Structure 1
Amino acid sequence: MDLEQTAVALRLKNDQLGQENDQLKSILSVVKENIDLRARMQSFNKDTLEELTVCSISGTEPLTQWQRTFDEKQFRKDLQQTKPKWEHRSSSPIDFKSFIQSSLHTDADETAERHSPRTDVPLDSKAPKRLLGEICYQLDRRILSYIFQGHSRLYGFIMANIPNKIIEVSTHPLTGKVDQGYQLHLTQRHAELVERLSQRGYKEALHPPFTEFIVNTYGILTERPSEHSTQEMDYNNPDFLKKVIMTTAPRKLHKDLLVVLTCLCMMAEMDRKPLLFW
């Protein structure tokens, strides 16, 4: 009977990993499509520049070709001017972040342009995108704070190294003796929290690298809102944050960002603190 139960559990786990793998493939497909588009645009603009140079030397001006390519050149210029600045805030490899970062800006910028300006979105043009990273950053820190409740400083703690950190903090730095009771306590807190989060769509194999990717791509808020201000109320309003996700993030990211927001709301209820807590 034990073997049968183990087999069933393994099959369920395999199905879960298969679904998570499909989600990662979907995100990667967006990346590849955008990279291919940017490569074709670069090649197209290079050919156009060479043709304009030849025409300039010969004293002629290709008006028809120039009119055809004006929109594409302006679009590329706008893309270069609106790339958000980011800060590397986690352990992800720089090259991996650079590879996927640029692929998402086109979709996000086009989505923002299709919607007219809203009075309930912050005036800072970078704030909505940074809010995406802030939501993910806040969830990661709340999870770490919950597991390692007795540690006020979490420098060097990231979602990817939770098991290693559990071993580290439960081992005496001088004698190397492991406090088995404390290690079991932390391991159980971790497992229980992941189980509660999974009930809201959180997947341990998918969402930690996903939130890290979002933070590295969009950054986090650089300034906290003034106390009791309208901005502070908005930032702690789940409906407002959901609207920011739907109007700012690429469509392919909506589902997982909404899962992250739902989990953050759960963590805020547990620790009785605002959604965005500094």
Structure 2
Amino acid sequence: MDWEKTVAALLSENEKLGQENEQLKSLLCVVKENRDLRARTRSFNNDTLEEFSVSSPSAGKPSSLWQTTFDDRQFREHLQQTKTSNEHRTSSPVDLKSFIQSSMHTDTNETAEVQSCQADNPPEVKDRLLGEIAYQLDRRILSHVFQGHKRLYGFTLLNIPDKIIEVTTHPLTGKIDDGYRVHLTQRYSNLMDRLNQLGYKATLHPPFTEFIVNTYGILKERPGEYSTQAKVYNNPDFLGKLIMSTAPRKLQKDLLLVLTCLCNMAEKDRKPLLLW
């Protein structure tokens, strides 16, 4: 009887993983379409700029800022056409706007700084910020579980159970530190329970964040610790708007969920959203 229940559970889990795998394939297609769209938009922009230069030789060469703004506006207009007026963007039970307001402190100049940073960031940086959000959540989870380990090379969310076994087993004698293993397992379980309440799925979102990082990359240059750029990048409102204006529509719900989880962890450990 127990064997039959085990087989049924495994079949159910296999079916669930198959469905989530199909969902990830669908997300990959969306990102590819997004890249093709941007390539076509940039090509259109280049042709337009050439015509502008030929027809107005006395006007001089358009600035890179004008070209970037034009390119970004075209892409935003395309995204806006695909949005529905009353679509619910996140599966998280936590209202992102109210969570942001309750967990972060703002000053009177913050809105102006956010708007300025949105205008100054080129499309490539905006894309990399999407990857940075996903990367930061992954690192945050690993650092929380393996709190005593400064180097996490080779650690991923997908191999946490294996790494718990590895770090609690003596490399020479093979002796198991049962107490430490229970401690790490409990930390991982408690964190997953907390994030699950926000809508995080341990079988879906680890490969999703890995996919986002591999697709968009992460920031090449870290902002100065006390710079305006660092302040804006650590503003959840800015990051939420960035997701809505930059990410493909089908990725927005899960990216907002990733941001919500990151905000939750930052609030608990009283540290900035983005850590370097």
TM-score normalised by the shorter chain: which range applies? 0.5 to 0.7
CA-to-aligned-CA distance 1:65-108 (integer Å, 9 cap, x gap): xxxxxx99944988xxxxxxxxxxxxxxxxxxxxxxxxxxxxx9
| 1:122–1:174 distance in 2 versus 1, CA, 3 Å | farther
**251, 258, 261: which one aligns with 1:260:** 258
Alpha carbons 2:134, 2:258 under 8 Å: kept: yes
Is the 2:164–2:185 Cα contact (8 Å) retained in structure 1?
A: yes
Structure 1 unaligned segments of length 5 or more: list them: 42-70, 79-107
Give the letter aligned to residue 160 of structure 1: L
Partner of 2:75: 111
For residues 189 and 33 of structure 1, what CA distance do their matches in structure 2 show? 39
Q: Does structure 2 conserve the Cα–Cα contact (< 8 Å) formed by 1:122 and 1:128? A: no
- How far 1:20 sits from its partner (Å)? 3.8
Q: 1:226 to 1:32 in 2, by over 3 A?
A: closer
Residue 213 of structure 1 and its aligned partner are, at CA, apart by 1.0
Q: Distance in 2 between matches of 1:73 and 1:182?
A: 54
Cα drift, residue 109 of structure 1: 9.0
Which amino acid in structure 2 is aligned with residue 119 of structure 1? Answer: S
Q: Distance in 2 between matches of 1:72 and 1:152?
A: 44
Task: Measure, in 2, the Cα distance between the counterparts of 1:178 and 1:17.
Answer: 31
What TM-score comes out, normalization by structure 2 length?
0.65
Whether contact under 8 Å (1:144, 1:159) holds in the other structure is: yes
Shift of 1:219: 1.0
Within 5 Å, give how 1:126-137 maps onto structure 2.
126-137=124-135
Aligned residues: 216
Q: Percent sequence identity over matched residues?
A: 64
1:226 shift after superposition? 2.2
CA 218–109 in structure 1, closer or farther in 2 if over 3 Å, else same: farther
What amino acid is the match of 1:205? T
Instruction: Give the alignment of 1:185-264 within 5 angstroms.
Output: 185-264=183-262
1:121 maps to which of 118, 132, 144: 118
Give the residue type in structure 2 aligned to 1:277. Answer: L
Normalising by structure 1, what TM-score? 0.65
Q: After superposition, what is the alpha-carbon deviation per residue over 1:14-36, rounded to whole angstroms, capped at 9, x for unaligned?
A: 8965774563354255368679x
Structure 2: where are the runs of 5+ without partners?
48-71, 80-114
Structure 2 partner of 1:68: none
